[in-house]
A = this chain, B = another copy of it.
Amino acid sequence: MPPPRKRATVHDIAAAAGVSRGTVSRVLNGGYVSAEARAAIEAAITEVGYVPNTAARTLKMRRSQAVGFVALEPHSLFLDDPNIGAIMLGANAALSLADHQMVSLVVESARDTERVGRYLSGGFVDGAIVVSARTHDPIIKVISDLRLPAAFVGHPPDLDQRIPYVGIDNAGSARAVTERLLATGRRRVGMIAAALDRDSGIDRLAGFRAALGDAFDGDLVAEVPHYDYGSGIKGMRLLLDREPAIDGVFAASDAIAAGALETLREAGRSVPGDVGLVGFDDSTWAVRTQPPLSTVHQPAKQIGTVAAQLILRQLRGEQLDPGGQLLPTPIVWRDSA
């Protein structure tokens, strides 16, 4: 094994070519040198494996041509939520077309928050897309203070009004899918509500409540921490304990619905025979359960595309209209309700 590799520098070229650093710099910057010196320097560049430092050059222009993609709460995002992948790919494709490099930054610990804050403020990126921020997330303050061009996916209630966002109408979509479930004749309908520290979780619960109106019963809401399969199992057990006659469930995500389905199966309840079950997201989960899930389609890839465009427009100096963009969320009615 050779010694650890180090980036070749102008020094190395100068030493290999037997010329001064100034002469090397002139060649690298397109200036005049003798044909002999140029040939020696070009041979030395190949020999030492020199690559020009783009970071240094872009810094002079105060542009890195890179955009951060900050994923908060990555644990449940990466391990249980297939939407995050689709959002990333949508954003990457749009940034790629505009010759910008997307750099994803994972924030899992307080240590990460602080270091990502320094990174965002350090000139390494021209802007940042932030996914899944909680209320009072310290990253929101970092981005506000920096005045970094940014776009949020979703809309934490305390978001700086100047920062644009893209998302969906969580409350309206949750209301629509719950109304559709009620229209199938279900009488005792509960909800497995998740992520109540985030706008999406709060709004989905609000929509469920609005659909039920006077029939809303707080006992039929099981609160779970995450949008994941394990939370679906826990939440459904809670609901069955509290109301054995439950005949309808709105799960706050498809992964939760998949967990709930497993719990219902173990409890000997058929879906949709005994219990009508609806999810949210229309992620890969929805078509892989038995029966496949009736759910709300979330246009994840397009959300990524729009977030990228919001950044690119700011980088071009465009004025953005205040507020956010909400994308349509059709109901996809399959076999679970």
Q: Which residues of A contact B (CB under 8 A)?
A: 1-9, 49, 51, 53-56, 58-59, 62, 64, 66, 69, 74-75, 77-80, 82, 84-86, 88-89, 92-93, 96-97, 99, 101-106, 108-109, 111-112, 115-116, 118-119, 121-124, 145-149, 162, 229, 258, 262, 265, 284, 288, 290, 314-315, 317-322
Q: With A6-B147, A55-B59 in contact, do A96 and B122 touch (Cβ < 8 Å)?
A: no
The 3 closest A-B pairs by CB, nearest first: A78-B85, A54-B122, A55-B123
Residues of B with C-beta under 8 A to A121: 51, 54
A58 nearest CB neighbor, chain B only? B122
> For A148, what are the chain B residues with a Cβ–Cβ distance below 8 Å?
5, 7
The distance in angstroms between the C-alpha atoms of A96 and B58, with both chains bound, is 26
Copies in the complex: 2
Q: In the assembly, what is the distance between CA of A99 and CA of B8, in Å?
A: 24
Which of these, B84, B119, B162, B322, contacts A66 with CB under 8 Å?
A: B119
Q: Establish whether residues A56 and B59, one from each chain, have CB atoms under 8 Å apart when the complex forms.
A: yes
Q: Are A1 and B106 in contact (CB under 8 A)?
A: no
Q: Which B-chain residue is minimally distant from A57 (CB atoms)? A: B122
Question: In chain B, what residue has the closest Cβ to A92?
Answer: B106
Q: List 23 A-B contacts (CB under 8 A).
A: A3-B319, A4-B315, A8-B147, A49-B146, A54-B122, A54-B123, A55-B55, A55-B59, A64-B124, A75-B89, A78-B82, A78-B88, A78-B89, A79-B284, A80-B284, A88-B106, A89-B108, A93-B108, A101-B115, A101-B119, A103-B103, A103-B105, A258-B288
